[in-house]
A and B are shown apart, each in its own frame.
Chain A
């Protein structure tokens, strides 16, 4: 059964946003995809601040798809904030980016990324990747219990 919580896509390039949405659509992932156009928006969304104040605090995304090159706060900055906060430190984060430079891959894992996927140039391969991500993170993967995630488990 596919869990139906939202997927947070943090991506500034509208073309990539469109292609990603289409790729998930083509791979039959029907979860709502929330798009944050930069690192700051992503943080607002996750911590219910700014435009997202008043959002249901229990409503955490199933997985965060995070680009590395972002305006304002970049991908690694967002990742660091996620890992530093008790409410989000177990949230699955998948780095979805253009490069596979060794130093990028290493620093993402060092900061606690759960996975690192390079966006392929070939759209067919991109659709494949989206399908695999959907199956893995929305079906196969056992997410952290919501109570723990929200930090009220003790």
Chain B
């Protein structure tokens, strides 16, 4: 479908001129002479691009632009402002209001069309299939162009034509054809030159080119191949042959890779000229416009800097001597800015003195030119700077791509190393874990069997030979039995500690109050004659592993039970406190208590604060409790004094989402 374009300008000449240009370029035009007309048109139709004059009889184009930007249906439509306003202020205002481009009058027709195409391309990135079938035909004979066009179109190609080499190059940039067919004999630059230029352009260089040659011109063929043509066809051959060649070339070309970020050297270029003399500004602008450049004039260094902040340019032509901000200072500021320092800058000066030129170069200018120079020289210098910039961009692109590749390789390597290291850790951990599991399994089985024999045969000796054994011997045998039983307990407690560390933590809503009661009942069952006053707070909710919390209360209540054995009215209390802004559970007894100076070692395995003969125990229980609380992400601590009972506090914070347990 043809792109639709709305042109709003009060000048009939401009409407006619641009209308014709866009018509030829394959656009569908709607022309309006006033804002009211444009408003009406926008209500009913939609457009791919709007070209808007700034000064209109019924209002301000920039105000209208504001309307366009704030109306949802047109907010995203690209707008190109077109104005004769030499004032930088208007340009800045327009671009700040949301114009996508600003082209000064007098304009270059093809420049406007080229900018329009660029804006449309930015708007919707060209899809591969649409562009891959475009063929550009460059030939000066309209008859031949039409003939070839109809042949190619009947085979499903989109065809763009151009009558001269220069137009052809411009069309190549605009349409990015899949293949170019160019006549060797052209007015102006010839076919080989066109191909050579295509090959020198970063964006277009991989485009296949077919050169049409006259049969009598043998050297033309050589020149074509030297220039880099992919194929040539004699012109007197049937157009069907050309079609076959196009198809063959396209088939073998594969997918051309283009560096999108590098703008084409042949594309439209914008030049900022800065001079305090209006006369001179006009003169230079006219010269550069003749070359097809868009010229942005600025009257001072301040204006130039203001403009650069809203619109990028491809080259800067800067007067050295100006009131206000001098050329040198302007140059220094431009070259000191990261965003602008790569823009080629040419110092322009009326002074012939060497000193001033050196000063300019010192300020960072890329080149200098005397105002007295011929305008051909000026244009050549501009071209040279643009070309240099182009090569720099390409080189930078290549460097960046290489760097990017290197970075990717490095990143991939380190990611792989990290994954490998992690896998090795996990493997090591799993190995250790299964070793530990195997170890505790064999402890559980094999270490107990000999103890059974020690205890069993000692008891049998005692029972079978009670009358023959001296009382001392009987006492020794009892000690042997006691030691074996104690070792059995140690093994069991160690296995429990190790199991608590390895077991999966399954959090659920549990009532610590009922767990505590169940643990207490167990203690009472083992020692039914003891009377202990137990007080458990009703409903103590926690998000915790049920089995592991039972281990906690078995041990804490077991300790409280044990250490309160020697007081006259033993009491055990289970409840909660609010401490440090959170809920803290506690188990309290009024038993023997302990010296707080040993509190630190309380939770270490095998650490005991009481004499074995006073209170039996393995010293593993609190270490087990500590490990359970730790695995829940909580804390455990105690407070006590000798003879005044002990209180064990612990917290069970809710699971952290995604946290490892």
Binding site for B on A (CB under 8 A): 13, 15-16, 19, 22, 68-69, 97-101, 119-124, 126
Contacts and interface: CB of A to CB of B under 8 A. Distances in A.
B449 A98 contact: yes
Contacts of B460: 19, 22, 123
Given A15-B456, A15-B457, A16-B452, A121 B485 contact: yes
A101 B444 CA distance: 7
13 contacts: A15-B453, A16-B452, A19-B453, A22-B456, A101-B441, A101-B444, A121-B448, A121-B451, A121-B487, A122-B455, A123-B458, A123-B481, A124-B459
* Chain A CB within 10 A, most for which of B441, B451, B452, B484: B452
Contacts of B484: 121
A69 B449 CA distance: 11
A99 B452 contact: no
Contacts of A69: 445-446
A121 B444 contact: no
B444 A99 contact: yes
B459 A123 contact: yes
A132 B602 CA distance: 40
A13 B445 CA distance: 12
Contact of A19 (B445, B446, B448, B456): B456
B451 to A, nearest CB: 5
Contacts of B446: 69, 98
Contacts of A19: 452-453, 456-457, 460
Contact of B456 (A97, A99, A123): A123
A153 B533 CA distance: 61
Contacts of B487: 121
Most buried by A among B449, B457, B485: B449
B488 interface: yes
A99 B445 contact: yes
Contacts of A121: 448, 451-452, 455, 484-485, 487-488
A98 B445 contact: yes
6 nearest A-B residue pairs (beta carbon): A121-B488, A123-B456, A15-B453, A99-B444, A123-B459, A19-B456
Nearest to A97: B445
A15 B453 CA distance: 6
Contacts of A22: 456, 460
Interface in B451-475: 451-453, 455-460
Contacts of B457: 15, 19
Contacts of A122: 455, 481, 485, 488
A69 to B, nearest CB: 6
Given A15-B449, A19-B456, 8 more contacts: A69-B445, A119-B448, A121-B452, A121-B455, A121-B485, A121-B488, A123-B452, A123-B455
B443 to A, nearest CB: 9
A100 B460 CA distance: 25
Contacts of B459: 123-124
Contacts of A126: 452, 456
Nearest to A20: B456
Contact of A98 (B448, B455, B458, B485): B448
Contacts of A99: 441, 444-445, 448
Contacts of B485: 121-122
Contacts of A123: 452, 455-456, 458-460, 481
Contacts of B458: 123
Contacts of B488: 120-122
Contacts of A16: 449, 452-453
B235 to A, nearest CB: 89
A127 to B, nearest CB: 9
A135 to B, nearest CB: 21
Nearest to A100: B444
Contacts of A100: 444
B655 to A, nearest CB: 23
B452 A15 contact: yes
Nearest to B488: A121
A98 B487 CA distance: 14
Contacts of A98: 444-446, 448-449, 452
Interface string B182-210: 00000000000000000000000000000
A69 B446 CA distance: 9
Contacts of B451: 121
Contacts of B455: 121-123
B495 to A, nearest CB: 8
A114 to B, nearest CB: 21
A69 B447 CA distance: 13
Interface string B430-445: 0000000000010011
A122 B478 CA distance: 12
B505 to A, nearest CB: 15
Nearest to B489: A121
Contact of B449 (A13, A101, A124): A13
Nearest to A22: B460
Interface string B277-298: 0000000000000000000000
B452 A119 contact: yes
Nearest to A119: B452
B109 to A, nearest CB: 87
Nearest to B462: A123
A100 B448 CA distance: 11
Of A68, A97, A98, most B-chain CB atoms within 10 Å? A98
A36 to B, nearest CB: 18
A98 B445 CA distance: 5
Residue among A19, A119, A121, A122 with max Cβ neighbours from chain B (10 Å): A121
A119 to B, nearest CB: 6
Contacts of B456: 15, 19, 22, 123, 126
A120 B488 CA distance: 9
Interface in B480-515: 481, 484-485, 487-488
Contacts of A68: 445
Contacts of B481: 122-123
A121 B489 CA distance: 9
Nearest to A121: B488
A108 to B, nearest CB: 13
A123 B453 CA distance: 9
B189 to A, nearest CB: 87
B502 to A, nearest CB: 11
A13 B451 CA distance: 13
Interface in B402-425: none
B503 to A, nearest CB: 9
A107 B343 CA distance: 79
